[in-house]
Amino acid sequence: MKIRTAIATTLLLAIALPTFADTAAPTPPPPPRRGLGGFGGGPFPMQDGEAIYKGVCQGCHMPDAKGAVGAGMYPALVKNENLETAGYPVGVIVKGQKAMPPLGPYFTDVQVANVANYVRSHFGNKYKDKVKPEDVKLMR
Partner 1 sequence: MTDQPIAPSRRSLLSMIGGVAGSAAMYHAMTEMGYADESTFKGPVKLSPPPAGTSVLILGAGVAGMVAAMELRDAGYKVQVLEYNGRPGGRNWTLYGGDTYTELGGFTQKVGFDPGQYINPGPWRLPYHHQGILHYVNRLGVALEPFTQVNFNAYVHSTNAYGGKPQRYRQVQADFHGHVAELLAKTTKQGALDQSVSKQDREMLMVALQNWGALNGNYEYGKSIETSLRRGFDVDPGGGLNSMPVPSEPRAMSDVVQSGLWAAIGASCNYEMQSAIFQPKGGMGMIGKAFGAALGPLIQYNAKVIEIKQDEKGVTATYIDSRTGGEKRTASADWCVCTIPASILTQIPMNVAAPMKNAINQLSYSAALKVGLQFKRRFWEQDDHIYGGITYTNQPNGTISYPMWDYFSKGKGVVLGAYTFGQAAYLAAAKSPEDRIQDALEYGSKIHPQYRQEFDAGVAVAWHRVPWTLGCAGAWTEPARAVHYDNLCALDGRIVLAGEHASRIPAWQEGAVTSSIDAITRLHQRVMSA
Residues that bind partner 1 in the complex, under the rule CB under 8 A: 1, 3, 6-7, 10-11, 14-16, 29-42, 44, 54-60, 62-63, 68-74, 96, 98-103, 106
* Among the listed residues 78, 132, 136, the one whose alpha carbon sits nearest the alpha carbon of residue 103: 136
The C-alpha atoms of residue 90 and residue 9 are separated, in whole angstroms, by: 25
The C-alpha atoms of residue 93 and residue 80 are separated, in whole angstroms, by: 15
The C-alpha atoms of residue 62 and residue 77 are separated, in whole angstroms, by: 9
Are 139 and 87 in contact by the 8 Å Cβ rule? The answer is: yes
Q: Which of 3/127 has CB closer to partner 1?
A: 3
Q: Which of 60/139 has CB closer to partner 1?
A: 60
Closest approach of Cβ 128 to partner 1, in Å?
A: 27
Q: Which of 42/109 has CB closer to partner 1?
A: 42
Closest approach of Cβ 60 to partner 1, in Å?
A: 5
Q: Which of 26/72 has CB closer to partner 1?
A: 72
Closest approach of Cβ 135 to partner 1, in Å?
A: 23
Task: Report the phi/psi class of residue 80: left, alpha or beta, with left for phi > 0 and alpha for psi in -120 to 50.
Answer: beta
Closest approach of Cβ 138 to partner 1, in Å?
A: 21
